[in-house]
Amino acid sequence: MNAESWPSADSPEPADPPELAPVRPGEELPWERLAGYLLPRLAERGLEVTGELSVAQFPNGSANLTYLLSFGRTRLVLRRPPFGAIAPGAHDMRREHRVLSRLWQEYDRAPRAYVFCADHDVVGSDFVVGEYRAGVVVWGALPPSLRNLPDAARRVGFATVEALADLHLVDPASCGLDDLGRPGGYLARQLSGWRRRWELVATAECDAQMTEAGRRLERTLPVSRASVLIHNDFKIDNCQFAPAAPDRVASVFDWDMATLGDPLADVGMLLNYWPDPSDTADDHALHVPGLRTLGVPTRAEVTRRYAARTGADLSHIAWYEAFACWRTAVICQQLHQRYVRGESTDERMASRGDDIGMLARRALRILGDVTG
**Structural domains of the chain sorted by starting position, each given as residue range(s) with its CATH number in brackets:** 31-131 (3.30.200.20), 185-223+315-372 (no CATH)
Tell me, what's the pLDDT at 190? Answer: 94
Q: With helix as H, strand as E and coil as C, how does the chain read?
A: CCCCCCCCCCCCCCCCCCCCECCCCCCCCCHHHHHHHHHHHHHHCCCCCCCCEEEEECCCCCCCEEEEEEECCEEEEEEECCCCCCCCCCCCHHHHHHHHCCHHHCCCCCCCEEEEECCHHHHCCCEEEEECCCCECCCCCCCHHHHCCCCHHHHHHHHHHHHHHHHHCCCHHHHCCCCCCCCCCHHHHHHHHHHHHHHHHCCHHHHHHHHHHHHHHHHCCCCCCCCEEECCCCCHHHEEECCCCCCCCCEECCCCCCEEECHHHHHHHHHHCCCCCCCECCECCCCCCCHHHCCCCCHHHHHHHHHHHHCCCCCCHHHHHHHHHHHHHHHHHHHHHHHHCCCCCCHHHHHCCCCHHHHHHHHHHHHCCCCC
The residue among 50 and 146 whose pLDDT is bigger is 146
Q: Using one digit for the tens of pLDDT, what is the confidence trace for 252-304? A: 999 999 999 999 999 999 999 999 999 999 999 999 889 999 999 999 999 99
Q: Specify the range with the lowest mean pLDDT, choosing from 124-128, 138-142, 236-240.
A: 138-142
Q: Using one digit for the tens of pLDDT, what is the confidence trace for 151-176? A: 999 999 999 999 999 999 999 999 99
Q: Specify the range with the lowest mean pLDDT, choosing from 32-41, 196-205, 245-254, 305-314.
A: 196-205
Q: Using one digit for the tens of pLDDT, what is the confidence trace for 357-366? A: 999 999 999 9
- CB hemisphere CA count around 164 (13 angstroms): 32
Residue 36 CA, chain-centre distance (Å), reads: 30
Q: Specify the range with the lowest mean pLDDT, choosing from 131-135, 188-192, 222-226.
A: 222-226
Return the closest-CA partner of residue 41 out of 95, 109, 133, 118.
Answer: 118
> For 82-91, what is the mean pLDDT?
76
Tell me, what's the pLDDT at 235? Answer: 96
* pLDDT tier for residue 338 given thresholds of 50, 70 and 90: confident
Residues written for the chain: 372
Tell me, what's the pLDDT at 152? Answer: 97
* pLDDT tier for residue 344 given thresholds of 50, 70 and 90: confident
* pLDDT tier for residue 3 given thresholds of 50, 70 and 90: very low
Instruction: Evaluate if residue 345 carries a pLDDT over 90.
Output: no
Q: How far apart are CA 366 and CA 359, in angstroms?
A: 10
Q: Using one digit for the tens of pLDDT, what is the confidence trace for 219-266? A: 999 998 789 999 999 999 999 999 999 999 999 999 999 999 999 999
Instruction: Evaluate if residue 340 carries a pLDDT over 80.
Output: no
- What angle (nearest 5°) sits at the alpha carbon of residue 171, between those of residues 170 and 176? 115
Residues whose CB is less than 8 angstroms from the CB of residue 300 and which lie 6 or more positions away in sequence, other chains included? none
Instruction: Evaluate if residue 54 carries a pLDDT over 60.
Output: yes
Q: How far apart are CA 227 and CA 191, in angstroms?
A: 17
Query: In this prediction, what percent of the chain has a pLDDT beyond 90?
Result: 77
> For 51-69, what is the mean pLDDT?
90
Tell me, what's the pLDDT at 354? Answer: 85
Residues whose CB is less than 8 angstroms from the CB of residue 204 and which lie 6 or more positions away in sequence, other chains included? none
Tell me, what's the pLDDT at 12? Answer: 39
Tell whether the torsion through CA atoms of 198, 260, 132 and 30 is positive or negative. positive
Tell me, what's the pLDDT at 5? Answer: 27
* pLDDT tier for residue 134 given thresholds of 50, 70 and 90: very high
Instruction: Evaluate if residue 13 carries a pLDDT over 90.
Output: no
Tell me, what's the pLDDT at 17? Answer: 56
* Residue 242, number of CB atoms within 10 A of its CB: 17
Tell me, what's the pLDDT at 88? Answer: 66
Tell me, what's the pLDDT at 10? Answer: 32
Tell me, what's the pLDDT at 341? Answer: 83
Q: How far apart are CA 193 and CA 317, in angstroms?
A: 21
Assess contact for 262 and 224: CB atoms under 8 A.
yes
Instruction: Evaluate if residue 369 carries a pLDDT over 90.
Output: no
Q: How far apart are CA 337 and CA 287, in angstroms?
A: 20
Measured CA to CA in angstroms, residue 248 lies from 135, 162, 173, 178 at distances of 12, 8, 25, 26
What value does the mean pLDDT of the chain take? 90
